Structure formats: structure tokens, C-alpha cells
Amino acid sequence: MKPTDPCVTWLEETPLGLAERLYLPLFIQGLTTTARHLISPKVTVSYPETRPTVGNPLIYRGVHRLNRDDQGRVKCVACFLCATACPAHCIDIVATESPWQDREKYPESFSIDELRCIFCGMCEEACPVDAIELTSLLDLTGKSREEMIFDKEKLLSVYDITKDAEPMKSTGMDTGHTSPADLGGRP
Amino acid sequence: MSMSDFLPSPLTLAALIKIGLLVGGLMTAAAYLVLLERWIAAWVQDRRGPNRVGIPFTKISLFGLGQPLADGLKIILKEDFTPKHVDKILYNAAPLVILAASLAIFAAIPFGSVLPPLNIPGLPDPVPFLVAPGLDVGVLWVFALSSIAVYGVLLGGWASNNKYGFLGGLRSSAQLVAYEIPLGLGLLGVVLAAGSLKLDAIMNAQAESGIWYCMAQPLGFLVFFVASFAEAARLPFDLPEAEQELVGGYHTEYSGIRLLLFLVSEFLHMITAAFLIVIMFLGGWHFWGVTGSSQEITWLEALLRFGILTAKILAVIVFFMLVRWSWPRFRFDQLMNLAWKVMLPLGLANLVTVAAVEEFRPQLTAALGATTAGWLALAVPWGVFFVGWILAGILTPSGTDNRPIRAHDPLDIERGIREHDLAETELAGTR
């Protein structure tokens, strides 16, 4: 962009009036602003005595959970879409043949390295059966790195803790609705 | 030989007790002022500030009052690292010089009025709240030593052999030399009016007349106040250690306990500045209707005077800290403009006014009566104050613009092309 570009507006510094040259209005302005902030309510949250408020728990990207279906089984079908979508490569799935009739595979083990995770939520978006979801739990702590690798049981237990406060976004186990025909695509 | 031969005289003992109280008090005050500074910084920024540390090894937090202990322990236990490239002797001497000078200043600064008679043989009553009573050159002592404290800053900056430290030292020397003059001029007016170089005598003079020198010499107060900010290197004049520009200024290369000495003496400078402002312009321990002006007092009055002096000093320090978050830092040329083109003339005007008022006061009192003369002696300095301020505002160059003066519009492209063509033809002609 050239300096002569018509989109550029050049401004001259406004000359100081007598009031500004006397420094008094600026003095009062500065001091009143300081005094106002001195007594205004504080924004710091005294964690852990008070918990920070989560704006909308349904879209907050906190600790993961693995959802259960209505029979209490893990909802995951071990399709690896989340592991593929994950930019941090923190999801590790071992798939095996499902003992149940309604799906071919299920995860024998499903672990997420919470230390590697960047909480982008792409696993949740990739999941075709809404099995993996991010909850609004935000204080994720542990005493060792090993402890921070959440396995299937732990992820399911996160679901058990949070299912009442944050209901599953879709309850059905029906995989049919993800077929291209249902979505209006070509068969 | 009796035991009493080995004991120091009551006079020495009294001085030692006062030194102990003062040094202990000052160090504690400096530590807690750091906490206060952090609190005010946090509150002004809508935060809460340090409020967790309380009594060690318990869960009692006491609003964070244990923080200075934690801060001090932390910085003392840090590695005291000496870089290879420094001048070892000066590098080690600098923090000692600055701390010794800023502590020794308090030998001549009264921290209260006097004690009631103690009737201890060998100790003349009343005992003043002053380490070196009877020092006739108290004000000179204070100013001489505060100039020596500058050496600490300069040595630190120079010996560090670091460009940030060096720039900090340079800025510091220029700034402190420039602001010593308005500081001295503001002080001269007070000395002239009180007729003494003793700080306790200056306080007594204000208590006796009931008129603080900030009312009798508003211009001197303004000049001294602004210059004190610069001398204490507080915002908006903290150029020697401007963090954003100079990392840490003259103490960039220091760590551990030597850094602590620098930081403590910075706070001591602020306390000194507050002491001087209060003692010389805000009436010291005097407050109308609360403390009398007599030297014969009870224990209650002695404590009351001490409390009032402390409260005033604390108020000035809190103001120092609020100012830090209110106005942006001056640019260096603006700082120098302010010192030499505004504060120096205003200080001189104040000095002349005070001299004239003091000179003609007896004649005026004889001619007009004491009341009218008294009011006139107040009205004249205030008139000079307003006129001086307005003149300073109108006459001083506006310090906001440091761009080069342009002969023509830089956006006039056609002119540029013409000049270019002209140069081309001239070049072709020479060929």
C-alpha cells in the first residue's frame, strides 16, 4: 500500500490546548481512573475456594468422557475416526470384534493422553456415534504422567460423574442416520 | 572498677536504641511497603493481590501479611551470581554504597516530636525522636547523602558492563543532577521561612504558626513534590530502571541479596522523599486541634504526634503508589524539559516570592496589622503559584512532538517526481 492510497487517512496530532498544557485535566483524569479501579469489584477468581463459572457447559472443552448407551455398554464402535482426526495424536485405540449384535467392532482399550491433548474438540466432531465428548470439568490434575493417561474405565467413569449435569448430546445408538442417504447425499 | 565503667553513657545508649528502632522499623517498613505496592498494583488492575501467605507452617493467611517474609527469604536464598564481565570491586561496592547512604540519611530525619521528661541522669530532657539531635546542618546532611546514594546507582550501572545497566546509570545521573536543583530550590524557600537547617526546627515553626508550608509556599511545594518523584525514580520519572526499555536499568546484572539491597534502598528513597515532603511542607507531626506546639508534652501527646507523622507519611507513600498507575512515563527529553524549562524557573520564582514576603512582613505588620499582613503573606504566594503555572503552560514548548520539522508535505508525490527529474538532468549535464 502506497502512502498516497485513498484508503489511507492521514491524521495530524491535535495541538494541545491550554488545559492540557497545564497538565491539570490529565492529572485529574489519571487519578480518577486509578481511584475508580481501586474500589471496583475484582475479577480474579479465588480458586479453589470459589470455582470459575463455565459459560455454557455443553460447548466447553474440558476433560473427555466415553459415553455409555442405554444398556450401559461403551458407545464407541472403534472406527478410529477420532484418532485420525486428533492433531496431537493422543488417542490410542485397540479394536477387537464386538460381542454384541449391533456393531462389528468395539474398543478393547481406549486411552487418551490428557497431557498431550490440546482440547481442540476435533475427536468429538469426528465421532460418528457421539461416543466421545468433552465435558466441562476443568481441573485436570495428577501426580505422574502415567496417571494422566486416561484409559477406557476412567473415561467411562467421567461419563458416570457428568451424565446428570451434562446429558449426552444424542442418546440413540442408531448408526443409520449417518448414512449418506439420510444426510441428503447421493447414494 | 565498677560495672558502670564498661557501660556506654546514657547519651550513647539513647542514640543506639534510636538507631536500632529506626533501622529495624525502616527495614520492616520497606518490606511491608513492597506488599502494599503489590496490593495497590493489584487493586488498581482489578486483581486481588497477594493474599495467601500468612503464618508459616499453618493455614492462617491473614490477608497475605506473611508475604514480605516469603519474598525476603526467597530473594536471599537465590543464587548470588556475579557475571564474568563485571568490574568486581565496584560491582560489589555499589549496593553497599547505596544502602549505607540511604540508611545514613535517617540520622538527621526526625521521626516524631520529643519524649516527655525521662529524668535519667546524664540524658538531657526532652529526648527528641532523632538519632543525631543538635545536628545544625540536618537538611544539608540529608541532601549530601541522597547525592551519594546516586553514586550507588552510577557504580552499579557502570560496573555491570552491560548496555542496559550503563544506559540506566546514564539516565539516572542526568535525571538526578537535573532534579537536585528544583529540589534544592523548593527546600531553600522552606529554610528561608523557618530560619533553620534543622528539620525538627522546621516542623516546630509550622506547628507554632499553624500554617503548613504547603499553604504558605504552594509553588515550592509543587516543585519539591515533582522533584521528589524524580529523585526517588518513581513513575512517571522512573527512566533509570524503565522495565520495558531497559530490562531493569542499573540493576540488570544483579541477583540475590545484592539485588535485594538495591530494591530496599529504592523503597528507602521513597520513604525519605515522603518524610521530607511531610516534614517540610505538610506540617510534620502537627495537626490543628490534635497536637499542640509545645515542647513539654505528655506520653499521650508524644504518641499522638508520632502517629500523625506516620499517618501523613503513609498517605504520601500511597499517593506515590497510586501515581505509578495513573500516568505514563515521560520521555527523556520531556523529563529534561520539565526540569530545566519548567521546574527551575518555577523554583526560582518561589524563592524570590518567599524572600520578598519574609523581607517585607515586618513592615507590612507594622503598617496593616498582623491579620491583614498574614493574609497578604498567603495571598501573594498563591497568586504567584497560579500565574507561574499558567505561564509555564503557555510558554514551554509542547513536549509531545519529537518528529523532525518538515519543509514540505511528504505526500506531495509530484514534487518528489519533479525533484527526481531535476536531479537526473543535472546528473546528465555533469556527464
Tell me, yes or no, whether B41 lies in a domain: yes
- Reported as a pLDDT band with limits 50, 70 and 90, residue A87 is very high
Torsion of CA B316, B317, B318, B322, to 10 degrees: 100
Q: Are residues B381 and B335 in the same domain?
A: yes
Residue B327: its chain A contacts at CB < 8 A? 26-27, 30
**Domain spans of chain A?**
64-172
pLDDT of residue B4: 59
* B417 lies in some domain: no
Same domain, B58 and B120: no
What's A13's DSSP letter?
P
Tell me, what's the pLDDT at A176?
Answer: 44
Can you give the residue range of the structural domain that contains B339? Answer: 83-395
Q: Which residues of B touch A13 (CB under 8 A)?
A: 400-401
Contact B393 A18 (CB under 8 A): yes
Long-range contacts (CB closer than 8 Å, 24 or more residues apart) made by B259-264: B259/B75, B259/B95, B260/B72, B260/B75, B260/B76, B261/B95, B261/B96, B261/B98, B261/B99, B262/B95, B262/B98, B262/B152, B262/B156, B263/B34, B264/B27, B264/B30, B264/B99
- B421 domain-assigned: no
Number of domains into which chain B is organized: 2
| Alpha-carbon span B353 to B379, nearest angstrom | 11
Q: Does one domain contain both B70 and B89?
A: no
Prediction ipTM score: 0.70
Chain A residues close to B48, C-beta within 8 Å: 42, 44, 46
List the grid coordinates of B294: 509545645
Domain boundary among B54, B77, B100: B77
Residue of A8, A10, A23, A26 to mutate when probing chain B, most B C-beta within 10 A: A23
A14 touches B: beta carbon within 8 Å: no
Q: Does residue B39 lie within any of the structural domains?
A: yes
| Domain co-membership, B73 together with B89 | no
The third-level CATH classification (topology) of the domain covering A64-172 is Alpha-Beta Plaits (3.30.70)
Span B375-417, pLDDT tens digits: 888 888 899 888 988 888 888 765 555 555 666 676 677 777 8
Note whether B40 and B142 are same-domain residues: no
Shared-domain flag, residues B132 and B55 = no
Same domain, yes or no, for B132 and B155?
yes
User: Which one-letter DSSP state was computed for residue B50?
Assistant: S
Question: Domain check: are B67 and B118 in the same one?
Answer: no
Contact B186/B350 with Cβ under 8 angstroms? yes
Q: What is the pLDDT of residue B13?
A: 81
Amino acid at B406: R
Q: What is the pLDDT of residues A97-131, one digit of tens each?
A: 988 888 888 899 999 999 999 999 999 999 888 88
Q: For B359-372, what is each residue's pLDDT tens digit?
A: 888 888 888 887 88
B402 within some domain: no
Based on the domain organization, do B263 and B346 belong to the same domain? yes
**Where is the domain boundary, B26, B46, B77?**
B77
**Domain shared by B158 and B36, yes or no:** no
At B405 the pLDDT is: 60
Identity of the residue in B46, B48, B389 whose CB atom sits nearest the CB atom of A46: B48
Q: Is B326 on the interface with A (CB under 8 A)?
A: yes
Q: What is the mean pLDDT of residues B148-161?
A: 84
> How many CA atoms, within 13 angstroms, populate the side-chain half-sphere of residue B75?
17
